[in-house]
Amino acid sequence: MSTRWNGKSRAKGSRTVGVTTGSGDARWLAAAARLAGRARPLSSPNPAVGCIVVREGRVVGRGWTAAGGRPHAEAAALAMAGDAARGATVYVTLEPCAHRSHRGPACADILAEAAPARVIVGVADPDPRTASAGLDRLRAAGIEVVLADCATCADSLRGYLVRANTGRPHVTLKFAASLDGCIALPDGTSRWITGPEARAHVHARRARADAILVGGGTWRADAPGLDVRLPGLGDRSPERYVLTRGAAPAGTRAIAEPPAISAMEGVQYIYIEGGAETAAAFLAADLVDRIEIYRAPIIVGDGLRAVGALGLNDLVNAHGRWQQVEDAQLGSDHFAAYRRTREGAV
Ligand SMILES: NC(=O)c1ccc[n+]([C@@H]2O[C@H](COP(=O)([O-])OP(=O)(O)OC[C@H]3O[C@@H](n4cnc5c(N)ncnc54)[C@H](OP(=O)(O)O)[C@@H]3O)[C@@H](O)[C@H]2O)c1
């Protein structure tokens, strides 16, 4: 699915009200966004959506997009709520779909039939089959609709929104580095820089990606498994890709240049695990949306730097591009995540 939808076409004529941070509505939306996390990445190529039905302060229904994309979150939450949905408030992270498919009815229609009093929507859907039509159909059914422009919901939908607005998947670049920014010894050895807690964290992150990618150099040096080795998640290993100008190594698919990620069928989230030249290639092409760094309390000195040559000649150009969004201690290692700050980005 390399379709590019113009995000600007979204929700024409619809009212964006916003919900106050910390308000009841904002908290329920945040809870729906956390539920949506259960659908990632199994819902691909459909968006991972979360939905909660609340009546008199109690949750009477909840759902998230099922593996393969159906049933949708709203359908699951309304099925659980049954008659209790009538007059209730529905919180849903993404605008309910307005298009019927052979796989099921439009969520806007089943919501209209369930007749909640209010529907609070996290973010508008850029899919032209739904954009604003989902909200309009609910309003036409006499339901109060609030489009909240919820940042937490947008975060939970990054892969879908980046795909819709740019035509390529969301890209996370990860590396494990020493305090002095090295990812390997001078001889290329990089096992093991971080401890078991950080490595388990990496495996959990892999399980949230549709695709995992390393450079040809890393593939040849480390022969990495790139799989998910966590109890119960063994079947969640992402599809393996190698950035190479040559042929795909056995068991992988080749990507000949960074922009070719747009052609990855059905992929919303890519997790890149190095090495330095690959990191530089994606950063130079401005194709990295998120950086995740595991920093071990060791000094390597004369080792391989985390990122290869970028041709930067003015530090001014390096500032203002990354904003820290996560921070945690994992055993003896430190984890931090940074989001690319792009003006007007989703
Ligand atoms: N600590 C960590 O987090 C970590 C993670 C990963 C790797 N490492 C270490 O990093 C080292 C490897 O890093 P590296 O920088 O030498 O190699 P690398 O980035 O893994 O791979 C370089 C290769 O990627 C391909 N490539 C790079 N740019 C390209 C482009 N623009 N278009 C097409 N293909 C491109 C080429 O593959 P072909 O030659 O096949 O054409 C190139 O030789 C190893 O020592 C490994 O242990 C550490």
Domain boundaries, the chain: 7-163, 168-340
Q: Distance (Å, rounded) from C-alpha 122 to C-alpha 135? A: 12
Please name the residue that has the structure tokens 């099921």.
Answer: 104
H/E element, 270: strand 269-272
What does the pLDDT look like over 215-253, one tens digit per residue? 999 999 999 999 999 998 888 999 999 999 999 999 999
One CATH from 3.30.2020.30, 1.10.357.10, 3.40.50.720, 3.40.430.10 for 168-340: 3.40.430.10
Other C-beta atoms within 10 Å of 229: how many? 13
Known binding-site positions for Zn(2+): 72, 97, 107
Q: Which two tokens stand for residue 118?
A: 């209010």
Residues annotated as catalytic are 74
Residues 6+ apart with CB under 8 A from 110: 74, 75, 78
Known binding-site positions for NADP(+): 176, 192, 218, 222, 275-281
- pTM, rounded to two decimals: 0.91
7-16, 57-66, 323-332: range with lowest mean pLDDT: 7-16
- The reported pLDDT for the residue numbered 131 is 86
Ligand 1 lined by 287 (C-beta under 6 Å): no
Task: Measure the N-to-C terminal CA separation of the chain; round to a whole number of Å.
Answer: 18
CA of 225 to the centre of ligand 1 (A): 15
Answer yes or no: CATH 3.40.140.10 is held by domain 7-163.
yes
Q: Distance (Å, rounded) from C-alpha 123 to C-alpha 154? A: 6
Tell me the pLDDT band of 298, cut-offs 50, 70 and 90: very high
Ligand 1 nearest-atom number relative to CA 257? 32
Tell me the pLDDT band of 10, cut-offs 50, 70 and 90: very low
Residues 6+ apart with CB under 8 A from 105: 75
- What does the DSSP 8-state code read for residue 211? E
CA of 206 to the centre of ligand 1 (A): 19
Q: Which region holds residue 284: left if phi is over 0, alpha if psi is between -120 and 50, else beta?
A: alpha
What does the pLDDT look like over 74-127, one tens digit per residue? 999 999 999 999 999 999 999 999 987 777 789 999 999 999 999 999 999 998
Ligand 1 lined by 303 (C-beta under 6 Å): no
Nearest CA to ligand 1 atom 22: 217
| pLDDT above 70 as % of the chain | 92
CA of 341 to the centre of ligand 1 (A): 26
